[in-house]
Amino acid sequence: MMRNIRIEVQKILHLPYLLLGVAGIGGWLTVFAPMLLTLGYMISLSGERQNGQIRFALMRSGKLRYCISKVCGGALAGGIISLIGYAVFGLLMVIRFPSLNMLPVEEQEFYLMGSTLAAEAVKRLIGAFLYGMMGSLFGIGVAIAFRDKYMLICLPFMINYIYQQVLGKLASDCMVAEKYEKITWIEAMRTESIMNISGSVTWLIPFVVMLVIYVVLIGVFYLSMKIGEKQKQ
């Protein structure tokens, strides 16, 4: 299983797709993150369906193993792309701006919030990896459900845009109604909020929900392949 997942990650992290995904992190292209993070995944899955390679893959590993490796590979690849992009962005910031160690001790403590620089850097990188995993949900889901290339390119961006707009409207309505506790939960459901790793319930629940959705996607993928097989018979 791990070998299959590793192969899928390698397929997705093809250099052009990797560079595009990295370019979408930390800049205005973030709005296109769901599409950019999963571009390699969508092209890989679409190509296997069109050229018939999926049949040989299924013969080697079976439907369930194939579905698990595909979805897990897509999630991990999205996380890796996001992590690399965030690391590159961080290095550019280190080069461009003064080191944190050059600031007064009081300011260092304010930014690090009682942590160390190394621990904070690791925490941020893990957060970036999780952001990539969560940001890949829409693209992986669309790739499983649709085969049309235009749908694969446009839908992840559109779904993400609508999702963010809905959250923004809900937060605005709660602000007007002074329901501030609900605003905290709404903000916790934003994709980027998973980067702020903590032991709070408002962080843990979205994290668990993400994992559950990935399990559901594996199940949907598997069922769709079973149904497709029956229709061909």
Mean pLDDT of 28-54: 79
pLDDT in the model for residue 126: 93
pLDDT in the model for residue 101: 65
Cα end-to-end span (Å), the chain: 28
pLDDT in the model for residue 106: 61
Higher pLDDT, 215 or 179: 215
Q: Which residues of 33-59 are buried (b: 16+ CB within 10 A; e: fewer)?
A: bbbbbbbbbbbbbbebeeeeebeebbe
Comparing 39-43, 62-66, 113-117, 161-165, the range with the smallest average pLDDT is: 113-117
pLDDT in the model for residue 156: 87
pLDDT in the model for residue 68: 94
Q: What pLDDT digit, counting tens, does each position of 182-210 carry? A: 888 888 888 888 888 887 888 898 899 99
Q: What pLDDT digit, counting tens, does each position of 55-90 carry? A: 888 888 888 999 999 999 999 999 998 898 888 888
What DSSP line would sit under 101-140, residue for residue? GGS-HHHHHHHHTTS-HHHHHHHHHHHHHHHHHHHTHHHH
Residues 111, 113, 118, 123, CA torsion sign: negative
Comparing 3-12, 55-64, 79-88, 156-165, the range with the smallest average pLDDT is: 3-12
Mean pLDDT of 33-38: 80
Most confident of 55-59, 95-99, 123-127: 123-127
Whether residue 130 is predicted with pLDDT greater than 90 in this model: the reply is: yes
pLDDT in the model for residue 88: 85
